[in-house]
Amino acid sequence: MFIARVTGSVVSTQKIDTMTGHKLLVVEPYRLEGEKRESLVTTGRTFIAVDTLGSGEGDYVLITQGSSARLTPETKELPIDAVIIGIVDTVHIDRAAVYARNES
């Protein structure tokens, strides 16, 4: 999995039928940087993921890729390869929080 920030959303009306009603979010993978990995920085890449948790723009989320993206109750049998499996509350490195949702 990887940490990503939700930056936007995508709308598509002409689509595979089973995709109807599924929220599609734009997410940007982040990585840890700095001598003590104290900074959470963007990778500059862009993915689209299905959201079933009510994630919103600005949230940091956990993304699962590949066939495992179909292993949630609402995504079984969908033709998708990325899903949000959690909204990140905190990221701790060396027992120090480098990200905490309420403080951001």
The residues, any chain, with a CB within 8 Å of residue 25's CB and separated by 6 or more, are 6, 8, 9, 10, 48, 49, 50, 51, 55, 84
Does residue 92 touch a second copy according to CB under 8 A?
yes
Strand partners, 28: 5
Span 43-62, contacts to a second copy by CB under 8 A: 44-49, 52-54, 57, 62
| Contact status: 23 vs a second copy (CB under 8 A) | no
For residues 12, 15, 16, 19, the Cα torsion angle rounded to the nearest 10 degrees is 20
Question: Is residue 32 a contact residue for a second copy (CB under 8 A)?
Answer: yes
Interaction between residue 39 and a second copy (CB under 8 A): no
The only residue of 23, 35, 56, 77 in contact with a second copy, by rule CB under 8 A: 77
Contact between 103 and a second copy per CB under 8 A: no
